[in-house]
Amino acid sequence: MTTVISIHSFRGGTGKSNTTANVAARLTAEGNRVAVIDTDIQSPGVHVIFGFEDTPEPTLNDYLWGRSSIAEAAHEITDRVSMDMTVADGGKLWLIPSSIKPGDIARVLREGYDVGTLNDGFRTASKDLNLDYLLIDTHPGLNEETLLSFTISDVLLLLLRPDRQDFQGTAVTVDVARRLDVPNLFLVLNKIPSNVDVDDLREQMTAAYGAETAGFLPLAEEVVENASGGLFSLTSPDHPWSQEIGKIVARIQAN
């Protein structure tokens, strides 16, 4: 059975796509069959972290409009991991991108789409690609596709920054996730300034949300300088940011 992982945040700019791509890459390197699906149809971006200027075609949009199968929209990109890290036997990675073409984004926003078709795509991709993990990179905030992805997820990673707006919005999201019976909800704090006491932060998070924090990603100039220009945790595996990605992966696998 595929483990479905949704990566979400209430607000934008929390590092969802970067975390998704790096977690997916590390799971792949450990010999798992992994797919990343970009459901951030309004503002897709995870393809950039995997090294694509434009989204490879066909895309998730083509699948939703009946122009292609979900398998055709799944592009094998294992080489994006193996160029920087040894991939254990059996490890494979696919990307199901959302289109970056303005016309395609406009069409989805104007016409909408059948949420059931998206769910059929999740299910079919999991089965046809024989996936160990399906990672769903979501659009920030709460909408139809994020609620669907919560509902079908085994694991929900909720990203937030140490910021009052993020704290408040995350409380709302945690409440919705609990109402939808998400079995494993983990928080991931990103962009933590170096002068913040992580142990104190961990206690605050547990008290505020009653949920475990799986990773404390530091605010790191090197990650900012990387500017989505590749998989940082593979190219700099000893960096504290990458070490925290490793902890998140270990926590997911411990389930």
Partner 1 sequence: MSSPSDFGASDSGSSGFESEPMLGVADWTELPTDERRCLRWMLRTGEVTTLQTSEELGMDEDASRVVLEALVARKLAVFIDEKIVYVGNVGRRTARFKPGGMWDALADKLIDD
Please say whether the beta carbons of 139 and 43 come within 8 A.
yes
**C-beta of 209 vs 216, nearer to partner 1:** 209
Residue with tokens 């122009």: 67
For 171-217, give the secondary structure using H, E and C. HHHHHHHHHCCCCEEEEEEEEECCCCCHHHHHHHHHHHHCCEEEEEE
- Report which of 12, 34, 29, 20 is spatially closest to residue 82, judged by C-alpha positions: 29
Give the residue carrying structure tokens 């206690």.
Answer: 203
Distance in Å, CB of 206 to partner 1, minimum = 24
Residue 71 or 108 having the CB closest to partner 1:
108
Nearest to 208 by CA among 187, 194, 192, 191: 187
Cβ closest to partner 1, residue 49 vs residue 134: 134
User: What CA dihedral angle connects 123, 124, 130 and 134, to 10 degrees?
Assistant: -50
Beta carbon nearer to partner 1, 151 or 235: 151
From residue 102, alpha-carbon distances to 107, 228, 239 in Å are 9, 21, 36
Opening angle at CA 82, ends 81 and 88, nearest 5: 100
In the complex, minimum distance from the CB of residue 95 to partner 1, in angstroms, rounded to a whole number: 22
**Of 177 and 248, which has the nearer Cβ to partner 1?**
177
What residue ranges bind partner 1 (CB under 8 A)? 4, 42, 102-103, 105-116, 119-120, 123, 142-145, 147-148, 151-152, 176, 179-181
Nearer to partner 1, 111 or 199 (CB): 111
Half-sphere exposure of 58 (CA within 13 A, CB side): 14
Rounded distance between C-alpha atoms, residue 33 and residue 17, angstroms: 19
